[in-house]
Amino acid sequence: MSTEDPSAPGAAWMAAARPAANPLCDAFFRVAESVYVGPENGMTPAQWEAERVALPQPDLPLRIPGWAATADLAGHEEALADHFERLIRTARAHGRVAALAQPFPYFSVRPAILDGAEALASWPWSDTLPEALGALEAMAGASRAAPSSVILDDQDQGWRLCLVAGPEGVLMAEWDAEGPPADGWRLEAATLAEQAAAARDRLRAVHARLVRLLGRDLWA
């Protein structure tokens, strides 16, 4: 394991950070392709993959496979609500009610930063609405961050993500925390802050609309 603090000024990955050409910061709702109906305990990896019931997919664009961005959901929440209703009916029909009681795996919400079709940061450890809102709130302050200050430093489940205010923008890396960052990216601070604030507000609005449509808060 590397002993260098990756969030410290002058870390090697920062000097090698590449500019993102067309970044997009947003929040994403999980759109499951199937419901697991195998054993609840002691399942093998093969069972986890095979013992599933496929779900019809909503008529929504997925910028990341299996994830719908709030930018594409505003005004189209009914399609996602219908997907969740089908998912819930399928899970209940197969006695998998326990899987509906928490965000993971079917109702996860997480931030992501894309550059075209490439995910520069995808928060693979994050599943809850408060986690997503907290990350977006931190990034919404990127344009006010003092040089070399840490905007966000998060580590969980073997992953780590750092965003640090640099002299020419925000420096970002997401990596397997057992080693040093492999790739770093440079984002324009004002653009990141604006996108994160807009995503935060859309996430709150889409969540509220889904709760009204479903009559329950699956993300509480």
pLDDT tens digits, one per residue of 106-149: 999 999 999 999 999 999 999 999 999 999 999 999 999 999 99
Give the bridge partners for 35, in sequence order: 53
**Is residue 1 over pLDDT 50?**
no
Average pLDDT of the chain to the nearest whole number: 93
> What is the radius of gyration, based on Cα positions, of the chain?
19
**Is residue 2 over pLDDT 70?**
no
Strands (E), the chain: 18-19, 23-30, 34-36, 52-54, 67-69, 109-115, 118-121, 150-156, 159-166, 169-176, 185-187
Q: What is the pLDDT of residues 37-75, one digit of tens each?
A: 988 888 899 998 999 999 999 999 999 999 999 999 999
Unique residue bearing structure tokens 């977006």? 136
> Any residues with CB less than 8 A from the CB of 40 and at least 6 apart, and which?
96, 98
| 3-state SS class at 159 | strand
- The pLDDT assigned to 166 comes to 93
The residue type at 183: D
Element (H, E) at 30: strand 23-30
Q: What is the DSSP letter of 203?
A: H
Query: Closest by alpha carbon to 220, among 210, 89, 112, 95?
Result: 210
User: Domain locations in the chain?
Assistant: 12-214
Q: Is the pTM of this model over 0.85?
A: yes
| 3-state SS class at 103 | coil
162 vs 197: CA distance, rounded Å: 19
Mean pLDDT of the 146-154 span: 94
> Any residues with CB less than 8 A from the CB of 119 and at least 6 apart, and which?
64, 112, 113
H helix count then E strand count, the chain: 6, 11
